[in-house]
């Protein structure tokens, strides 16, 4: 073999094609088990509306999401340091706090899951049914290369078709929908400032229910008063 040609091979990156290449880092862990468990403990309102989930199943949902976030946390620790949120909290710090919260809930699970509804996370459904509390889709043109998801620590623009949402509590609270949706469905709060969207949803639902009941009562009084 002519050794004089080796520098040319290196320079033009024509190394042995049989050499092993590094596999790309998986962006997010598989959450199919988590969502399957979540569907069991949060049935549709018209299906067993008064059913109470088994505590063990509720606990399993919290453990499942904690395990998925732990994978993300380890990945974030291996990545170059990037900008944190406005309070200086980086992805690893945020995930550590979120994981601990989930583990605490798993040890002492709530009687019912207190997360937001599926409609809250579906921007189109939210626009159609409730313009007050919803996730706002952030267009790709509004993102810049320095912005990263606070949970997975990946730049939004790494995705060819990023699905980024803005939480209603603050205009800078931007997340990959795939990262923040499981947390919102299970806990219903902003991971950063802990603003409780689920509580607001419940209060709004109760207010609307009372309004309907009052209207029906007035109509009844008008007919027979």
Which residues contact residue 200 at a Cβ distance below 8 angstroms, ignoring those fewer than 6 apart?
Answer: 132, 133
Asked if residue 125 has pLDDT above 50, the reply is no
Q: Which residue has the higher pLDDT, 27 or 110?
A: 110
d(C-alpha 198, C-alpha 179), whole Å? 18
Locus of tokens 């007050």: 132
To the nearest whole number, what is the mean pLDDT of the chain? 79
In this prediction the pTM is 0.75
Select the more confidently predicted residue: 140 or 221. 140
**CATH 3.30.70.890 is the classification of domain 28-44+52-211:** no
Residue 99: CB atoms within 10 A of its CB come to: 18
At 187, the pLDDT band (50, 70, 90 cuts) reads very high
Q: What is the separation, in whole angstroms, between the first and last Cα of the chain?
A: 106
Query: What pLDDT shows up at residue 210?
Result: 79
Position 166 pLDDT exceeds 70? yes
């Amino acid at each position: 073999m002519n050794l004089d040609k080796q520098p040319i091979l290196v320079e033009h990156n024509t190394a042995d094609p049989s050499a092993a290449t590094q596999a790309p880092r998986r962006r997010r862990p598989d959450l199919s088990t988590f969502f399957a468990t979540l569907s069991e403990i949060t049935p549709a309102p018209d299906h067993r509306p008064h059913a109470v989930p088994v505590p063990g199943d509720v606990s399993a949902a919290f453990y499942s999401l904690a395990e998925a976030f732990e994978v993300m946390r380890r990945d974030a620790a291996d990545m170059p340091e990037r900008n944190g949120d406005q309070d200086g909290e980086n992805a690893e710090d945020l995930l550590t706090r979120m994981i601990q919260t989930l583990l605490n809930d798993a040890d002492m699970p709530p009687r019912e899951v207190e997360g937001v509804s599926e409609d809250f996370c579906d921007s189109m459904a939210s626009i159609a049914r409730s313009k007050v509390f919803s996730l706002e889709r952030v267009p790709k043109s509004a993102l810049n290369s320095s912005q990263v998801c606070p949970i997975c620590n990946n730049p939004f623009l790494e995705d060819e078709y990023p699905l980024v949402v803005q939480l209603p509590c603050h205009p800078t609270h931007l997340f990959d929908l795939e990262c923040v949706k499981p947390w919102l469905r299970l806990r219903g709060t902003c991971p950063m400032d802990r603003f409780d969207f689920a509580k607001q949803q419940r209060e709004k639902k109760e207010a609307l229910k009372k309004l309907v009941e009052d209207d029906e009562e007035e109509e009844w009084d008008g007919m027979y008063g």
